[in-house]
Chain A
């Protein structure tokens, strides 16, 4: 009987632990998409980093920490502060890229960070090139990643028509992303899912003016 109790309690502990990870991640991911406050996003990023410190074999906690910092720049207008947040995101991402060099999502996030760095027209050329390079790498690793096409669409949408950008060039990419967003869902509930909502908005925008 004693053995049963021990085994049982051990199993419970294991199960509880796994549940803790899933639960903690899920809670934080939900919070992440609900807020538009920079302070809150910093707090959420810190939570993800705490999870990352314990779950050293998982890349998703660190990924979400970096993504939280990157996302926070949507709610900042001053360019110096944007770069401070992006530096934090980059610092998290650097470690992840080293230990998981074959994860497509990490290169998408890299591309996303680069494109957010375009805070003035002078840096446009440099960072849109870097961003597109990271997207090519992400596509090589997983050509069914919808965020590759969503981010590329965004880059092209914001590139002046003169340099081969513009709405009509971006449209097929948003379409491809939309198709993959619906048909290529990952089984892991914690898997990155961002981009779908905004992709639909961009798609509508492109179609509207057609």
Chain B
């Protein structure tokens, strides 16, 4: 009986609750700019019940409980809770954008990235391969971005008035001390790392994070590939050599190894070289990568490359010939371990080591360089709240440099040694004050044991969102760098070189459609290396007495929308820079600078024949050079530079194997790429100096390659 009563009471309660009077709540949900938000989820807290807003941002919801809480939620916005009851009038809800939303402001000052989903992205990873004239070199593709000098006689990255040594390359956050093959007089060099090893590239042309030190002008961050999921064997046959690689996979780990061989001899046999080659470039390269994911969410990445190469040629110095014979090898090993700790925090430890040995004989000068670099780094990333992320870290970069110099026709012998520890500490919070405004103040401390010098670098960057896809960015910071080893080997009685960056930029649009970026900058260089004279292999009065400035505007526009199957980007850079450093008698524009640089890259996909056609056009104003005997230093200008390169990628298959046939042709117009003159003292003192034109070794370069992915399934 009692039970029956109890059950009936229970039923009655339920019935009553169902019978309780219904009422309606109406409302409208908008964003801050009062634009209606469509599809906003309105939930009665703690239940499955609710509704969504219509195309006008309006909603109507039937409620039963006298008091209820509504949750108003929308992707990219902060969820709002509202108490309602029978008497609630028409609701008008304004949602605030969430600071963690994908659309929230991101700091992009000075930064170009390829590969991730961030706002700084201007290129996709594949662009590095498909940019005509880049010849499969990461740097080649980056040189189509504003702020860089094309400098066809160098090959390295020269950023916003900086020399090549002012750009540092990092792989997975660790220093790559020798990112280029050794630079030979008269010849451009190329990047050591194959673009296929990386899935992301971040290229900063200024104002970068306090995480990175020892770079006055720029940093390039390469992120190596993640764990591979598919077994791949690939084979490349090229007009200049061949490559083979294989990737093995298992759950949560992958390993890959590759070997490459380059030999320029067959090609030089056909081409018309300016240099007289005795032993055309021949090189071997190995790479090995391993990735392993742990149960605790940790990730171990091992990345390594090894190479060895030889080359020998005769270059003419006026009437005389000088024989240049080079042999060298390099090993780079990078190990990285990241471990999630606490909640959402991440601890990273890394060790990178470069061993580089080089022997060079130029005429009767024989130089043997041995360099060892080891960098250890520990960093910690911790979100204090949704709006604040803190990054801090310590690092030590050790350099051990030995040089033996001999004059073959005399008994002159000298050696040089540098041992230097550069210790660094940094802290950098990123603060999102709102969905529109983010600030990243940072501080870095460095100490060099060789120079016995320390430096504090404060840096700040900020971004303010002005519209859905547009934002303003600004950055300021102090940057320090040790003088290059060529000077350090003579004395430790030097200081850091210093630069202060100021930059202001604006960007609008998206990479998917059209993207426009413009950035203006000013850089103040201090304590640059100066000397009075270089003679008998010695710098006289070597000191930090130099200074200079660089200012300019960089413009970038990329458009994938306007023309069907066509993707193109345009870059323009204007730079005004002068340096009074080295043995310059005056503040002048250095010889590697072109005042105006314009480049256009276009890609067109012809679906019917599965072929992508690409073209890169680079044009710069003439670079300054000096003629010995002129009263005004560096007062002459080389002719303008104009290069058009084409490439063609045809997608096909050989048997079951996916294949790309790639053909590229640089300097299709066959222009003389004279970028300046070198002054060389002539053999007889009486006739003074000889002016040597700086010209590429080969006028035009043709490349044919076959890239096969072997399908083992």
Contact = CB atoms under 8 A, between A and B. Distances in A.
A190 interface: no
Interface string A39-72: 0001100110111011000000000000000000
A140 B229 contact: yes
A50 B605 contact: no
Nearest to B50: A50
Given A46-B52, A50-B43, A91-B75, A164 B230 contact: no
A76 interface: no
B230 A88 contact: no
A12 B10 CA distance: 10
A8 B6 contact: yes
Interface residues of A, number: 35
A179 interface: no
Interface stretch (A29-37, A130-138, A195-203): A130-138
A11 to B, nearest CB: 11
Given A4-B3, A140-B251, A164 B607 contact: no
A50 B512 CA distance: 32
A122 B605 contact: yes
Contacts of A54: 46-48
A79 B567 CA distance: 18
B652 interface: yes
Contacts of B567: 122
A144 B567 CA distance: 41
A137 B41 CA distance: 32
A24 to B, nearest CB: 5
Nearest to B709: A164
Contacts of B607: 121
A9 interface: yes
A120 to B, nearest CB: 8
A20 B2 CA distance: 29
A47 B44 CA distance: 11
Contacts of B124: 126
A137 B605 contact: no
Contact of A20 (B10, B41, B48, B50): B48
Contacts of A20: 48
Nearest to A65: B41
A132 B230 contact: yes
Given A88-B75, A164-B653, A50 B41 contact: yes
Contacts of A47: 48, 50
A83 B6 CA distance: 56
A75 interface: no
B188 interface: no
Nearest to A126: B126
Nearest to B102: A91
Contacts of A9: 10
Contacts of B711: 164
A53 B230 contact: no
Contacts of A4: 3, 6
Contacts of B565: 120-122
Interface residues of B, number: 37
B534 interface: no
A125 B610 CA distance: 11
Given A50-B49, A121-B565, A140-B251, A162 B610 contact: yes
B669 interface: no
A88 B74 CA distance: 10
A162 B651 contact: yes
Interface string B108-139: 00000000000000001010000000000000
A54 B43 CA distance: 10
Contacts of A160: 610
B41 A49 contact: yes
Interface string A140-159: 11000000000000000000
Contacts of A51: 48
B39 A46 contact: yes
Interface in A91-107: 91
Contacts of B102: 91
B49 to A, nearest CB: 7
A51 B653 CA distance: 48
Given A91-B75, A121-B607, A46 B50 contact: yes
Nearest to B38: A42
A32 B75 CA distance: 21
Contact of B651 (A8, A50, A91, A163): A163
B48 A163 contact: no
Interface in B51-81: 51-52, 71, 73, 75
Interface of A: 1, 4-5, 8-9, 12, 20, 24, 42-43, 46-47, 49-51, 53-54, 83, 88, 91, 120-122, 125-126, 132-133, 136-137, 140-141, 160, 162-164
Given A125-B126, A141-B251, A163-B658, 10 more contacts: A1-B3, A43-B52, A50-B48, A53-B43, A54-B46, A91-B102, A121-B607, A133-B229, A162-B610, A164-B658
15 contacts: A1-B6, A5-B3, A8-B7, A24-B48, A43-B52, A50-B48, A50-B50, A51-B48, A53-B43, A120-B565, A121-B605, A121-B607, A122-B565, A125-B126, A133-B229
